[in-house]
A and B are shown apart, each in its own frame.
Chain A
């Protein structure tokens, strides 16, 4: 994605390239847009935040002498009279993966200057994210109705509620922010801001489809975090 040519500098591949890029007395991330590098650094710090949540969850769950609630029963949905374990969570996972796929394609079509396809795919991504948040609201209200609180619940160890609301809440907050930005960028793409090189609100940077890749990095990260939450919180 960053295979640009840089005048007077030979880009070497692999670890040799890493050594020469780092020691070049110039910008270190050759051919990487600064906004993209900054988004990656932000995502790295966000990784640490979510890691701290999940590690404290590991510590809390591992050190309680009361049994942890059985997640496949707690998060089951009744289809007719049959309880299906983790049904809603599975659907949420598939919705989020779908929206990640449309986002990846939006980035591709953006770089190919296919404005309409890019716009529609970002809109589809936003709607996927909105569906995800909607289902999470349903899941929260169901659990609250069943008596799950941050300080206790009827199913088992009291710590379950606080970890659940903290971890999924923080993730849902990320998704919500992402959805807002996806709608904004849908507008920006359809309005042709990247063809006319229109400047953004917070920056003098000229509009360019690289912004869609930066937005995409954030959205894929949200999906990435869900992969870990799905594995550790719901399946473990």
Chain B
């Protein structure tokens, strides 16, 4: 009986060391607030053009990375899981690249036929 109690005790201790310190979560939480505030400021001050787009993307990827790494624990997961999840994202990147070429062609044809009136 005493032995099982001891086992339970050691199990408990092991489990407790496997959770993260509360400080990490609070830090990430605070950072997410600050980054969201900054990305709101991008609109508030009406930055335009490349500055606006690069700032939006910078804050977006930083926030997404923090959420995935720490809130979703990917930072502490084994690479077998992390890589299975992250490599398929390259397919999305390819799709974005393809559709980017596609919308420019569509825009060109619309200008050419609707505005210019064709050749």
Given contacts A51-B92, A93-B36, A224-B64, contact A1 B56 (CB under 8 A): no
Given contacts A112-B19, A224-B67, contact A37 B81 (CB under 8 A): yes
Pick the residue among A29, A30, A58 that contacts B96 (CB under 8 A): A58
Cβ contact within 8 Å between A108 and B60: no
When C-beta atoms are compared, the residue in chain A nearest to B104 turns out to be: A62
Cβ contact within 8 Å between B79 and A85: no
Chain B residues contacting A60 (CB-CB under 8 Å) are 103
Report the minimum CB–CB distance from A7 to chain B (whole Å).
15
Chain B residues contacting A179 (CB-CB under 8 Å) are none
Cβ contact within 8 Å between B33 and A97: yes
Chain A residues contacting B81 (CB-CB under 8 Å) are 2, 29, 32, 37, 40
> Which residue numbers of B lie inside 8 Å of A, CB to CB?
12, 15-16, 18-20, 22, 25-26, 28-29, 32-33, 36, 39-40, 42-44, 46, 52-53, 56-57, 59-60, 63-64, 67-68, 70-73, 76-81, 83-85, 88-89, 92, 95-96, 99-100, 102-104, 106-107, 110-111, 114-115
- What are 19 A-B residue pairs whose CB atoms fall within 8 Å in the complex? A2-B77, A11-B78, A14-B79, A15-B79, A18-B83, A29-B78, A29-B81, A29-B84, A32-B78, A47-B89, A58-B96, A58-B103, A64-B110, A93-B36, A101-B32, A104-B25, A220-B67, A220-B68, A220-B72
